[in-house]
Structure 1
Amino acid sequence: MLRLTDLSEVPADLGPTVLTLGNFDGVHRGHASVLATVVEQARARGARAVAVTFEPHPLAVLHPESAPPMLTSTADRLDLLEAAGLDAVLLMPFTRELAAQTPEEFVKAVFVDALQATAVIVGKDTRFGVRNSGDIGTLRELGTQYGFEVLALEDVGTDHRWSSTELRQLIGDGDVAGAAAILGRPHHVSGTVVRGLQRGRELGYPTANLSQDASGLVPADGVYAGRLIRHALPESDPEHRMPAAISVGTNPTFENVARTVEAYVLDRDDLDLYGERVSVQFVRRLRGNDRFESIEALVTQIGRDVDTARAVLTSTT
């Protein structure tokens, strides 16, 4: 898949294209449905399947005080878009200058001149152009003027519209199982394994601590069943994806602890993961974070958490 970050990088012979437009944060099942239609239509027309998206999120530029936390990193978003079968992604830098373009200026520069669109596939609530003044009606008028077809897809979901906003709420509440139902996969956070305070090892449950600059929306404090993914190992390696009990929070039994994400790989005390890039997948929340009156009580509860995590992960693929 071509990964383009500026209109000047678009090959002159990329078109014709079938394209879609959106932020695609999380690349959830609603997004996947749109992307599948883009790929299907592109193949039928002998065209390239392309997604146009932005970095950073438009609100981070226009209204930073209300910009949402991102569900996935840009790298993860691009990987997920590639996995959807696209031929190219145009990741446009979102600037105030871009935001000031009229709907027609944006469509002509991006869809027509650069990407030679033969069809544009979007959701019915799509807005674009200065002050979001362009809508699906505007897009259809421009399609007639510039020679591309517009397909507006119905909302995709079980009983309501799936959205990145809902995903942020679910993950913020710790409902990672509910989030997975919308994502079509477990939510994950990625980072480099760093040395922590070694308390887990002292208690008999050594953990892989993610760096503070880990990417992905961190769920509510608590204990989770999940998996640890080692990026350096191939998927065929049995240690690429390992069951884990995960702790998120400040560990209230101890004082002056920064908020961390740490994962104990079940029944493993021999792993040396320092410096590795890993992802932690969250499958189900087991409990909130509690303060224990003694180290012995904490260790007993950790043992119960490990047993519960094992049972949960044994019943899920």
Structure 2
Amino acid sequence: MQTYTHWTALARGAWRLGGDGQFRRVHLGHQSVIDLARGREPLGIITFEPHPREVFAPDAAPFRLMNAEAREHRLAKLGVERLYELPFNRDLAGMDPETFAREVLAEGLGVAHVTVGGDFRFGKGRAAGTTELIALGRELGFDVTVAPLLHIDGIEVLDQHPQGAGRGRVRDAAKMLGHLHRIEGEVMHGDKRGRDLGFPTANMSVARLHLPKLGVYAVKVDVLTGPHAGAYLGAASLGVRPMFGENAPNLETFLFDFEGDLYGQHLSVALVDYLRPEMKFDGLPALMKQMAADCETAREILRSA
């Protein structure tokens, strides 16, 4: 999949826009709209980067549910050929609906067909919706398809935190997403405490992400780059490491039956099931005993999963 951080004239094709042109994550609602856009090539996605909230509220608490790398990988799996990340700034935010439709969609991207969700809003102050987009499309030469909002078990699928993930119910979150909730990123050098304890972990930053419930998870891991690329099983701790007085969350993943160096490589860690919350132990022997028990529990869960 090609990723662009600007817009220029290009071959006319089918494009999909999010509810506000934003993808905090990729859920079944997005997937249903993408499916409606299939059959008109190239199949592309239009989103904003940075997220509008980062422009208007830069000091707000983390709210992204997946980073740009995870978003791109997920969209590629759905068959998206082009991802356009429109550079969001106050000038773009200030465009009235007609200017946005003309300068960005019709002239800039050269769209022939646009598919949007039923809650789509655009233009300064979210002034316009699907009715206005359809009218502007007729005037400017592109068609518009509006996808109905998706409900699962009576709950509307929205671009918010995966249902249940904030309470550790990642299987419920997967029902809304259509896939396991994943955290992706580069393996960083850490303090190597896990290695000393007999559980060497791959450490990843979760900065600027709105996180599911902190604690220990059974996980499936895809090593995306390097000589050890492949699929693995493991256990991961998402949290602040209270045993050691840390306060910045990170993700530490122990890969079962693995030997090798993963520093600098990119991992995709899928949260399969929640095992327990973070705990502070009386000493390292108690911590090591619990880590061994966590790994055994995770192995049992992953065997059945």
Scaled by the length of structure 1, what TM-score is found?
Answer: 0.85
Question: CA shift at 1:244, angstroms?
Answer: 0.7
Which residue does the alignment assign to 2:264? 275
Question: CA shift at 1:274, angstroms?
Answer: 2.7
Are 1:220 and 2:213 matched, yes or no?
Answer: yes
Distance 1:214 1:279 in 2: 15
Which residue does the alignment assign to 1:21? 17
8 Å contact 2:206–2:249 — kept in the other structure? no
8 Å contact 2:62–2:210 — kept in the other structure? no
Match of 2:225 among 210, 219, 232: 232
The answer for unaligned runs of 5 or more in structure 2 is none
Are 1:137 and 2:131 matched, yes or no?
Answer: yes
Distance 1:233 1:250, change over 3 A: same
Distance 2:164 2:58 in 1: 22
8 Å contact 2:63–2:208 — kept in the other structure? no
8 Å contact 1:189–1:218 — kept in the other structure? no
Are 1:243 and 2:233 matched, yes or no?
Answer: yes
8 Å contact 1:189–1:214 — kept in the other structure? no
SS at match of 2:15: strand
Distance 1:207 1:153, change over 3 A: same
Are 1:184 and 2:178 matched, yes or no?
Answer: yes
Which residue does the alignment assign to 2:155? 160
Query: What amino acid sits opposite 1:38 in the alignment?
Result: A
Question: CA shift at 1:172, angstroms?
Answer: 3.6
Distance 1:99 1:195, change over 3 A: closer
Query: What amino acid sits opposite 1:120 in the alignment?
Result: V
Distance 2:169 2:298 in 1: 15
Moved more, 186-195 or 87-96: 186-195
Structural mapping, 1:83-98, within 5 Å: 83-98=77-92
8 Å contact 2:16–2:114 — kept in the other structure? yes
Which residue does the alignment assign to 1:32? 31
Distance 2:194 2:158 in 1: 37
Distance 2:208 2:181 in 1: 12
Deviations 1:206-240 (A, max 9, x none): 22222x46685443321110023212258xx7x61
Question: CA shift at 1:66, angstroms?
Answer: 4.7
Distance 1:170 1:138 in 2: 35
Larger radius of gyration: 1
Distance 2:186 2:62 in 1: 24
Query: What amino acid sits opposite 1:51 in the alignment?
Result: I
Are 1:100 and 2:99 matched, yes or no?
Answer: no
Distance 2:267 2:112 in 1: 40
Deviations 1:78-116 (A, max 9, x none): 333233223423211011001111100000112222333
Match of 2:140 among 129, 141, 146: 146
Q: What root-mean-square deviation, in Å, do the aligned CA atoms of Structure 1 and Structure 2 show?
A: 2.4
Distance 1:258 1:160 in 2: 33
8 Å contact 1:190–1:216 — kept in the other structure? no
SS at match of 2:156: coil
Query: What amino acid sits opposite 1:190 in the alignment?
Result: E
Are 1:299 and 2:298 matched, yes or no?
Answer: no
Scaled by the length of structure 2, what TM-score is found?
Answer: 0.88
Which residue does the alignment assign to 2:242? 252
The answer for unaligned runs of 5 or more in structure 1 is none
